[in-house]
Amino acid sequence: MIYILVTINTLIFLFLSGLHVYWAFGGRWAFEGVFPSKADNTPLGKQPSKLATLVVAAGLGAFAFITLGATHIFDSWISSRLFNIGLWTISVIFLLRTIGEFKYVGLTKTVKGTLFARRDQQIYTPLTFGITLISALILWLG
């Protein structure tokens, strides 16, 4: 069971990491509606730089590595305790993202009529909650 959960989260993180690399180099697929906007659909700010997008991609890649570490394949090089701390951190980060910041993202958002808000409700928030649950289950079963 733990291997299935690790595989799911690792593949999600690798896909999202690859998607961010694709976006950093000009790709447009699945790009529309990824940033929160005001109720009148005006952007909240400028788009992140190529470097910032690559940093996010690297972070998601690191999350994949941390998740894979729950299988103990790296135990001869890195303490499994570090992977457990990493998984707790991932769980907390994605739980906070699921809850949101009470205006634009997550379960607590109040701005709801935008393309981002619809995608957040249909895709992003369920995905972050799923990542939270799977990461917590990996810790519990591990």
Predicted pLDDT of residue 41: 81
Per-residue pLDDT tens listing for the chain (142 residues): 999 999 999 999 999 999 999 999 999 998 888 888 888 888 888 889 999 999 999 999 999 999 999 999 998 899 889 999 999 999 999 999 999 998 999 999 999 889 999 999 999 999 999 999 999 999 999 8
Predicted pLDDT of residue 76: 86
- For residues 14 and 20, give the distance between their C-alpha atoms in angstroms, rounded to a whole number: 10
Is residue 29 within a helix (H) or strand (E), and if so which, with residue range? none
Predicted pLDDT of residue 34: 85
Single pTM value for the model? 0.90
Is the Cβ–Cβ distance between 91 and 135 less than 8 Å? yes
Predicted pLDDT of residue 27: 93
CA distances from 73 to 79, 84, 90, 106, 108 (A): 11, 13, 19, 34, 38
Helix (H, G, I), strand (E, B) or coil at 43: strand
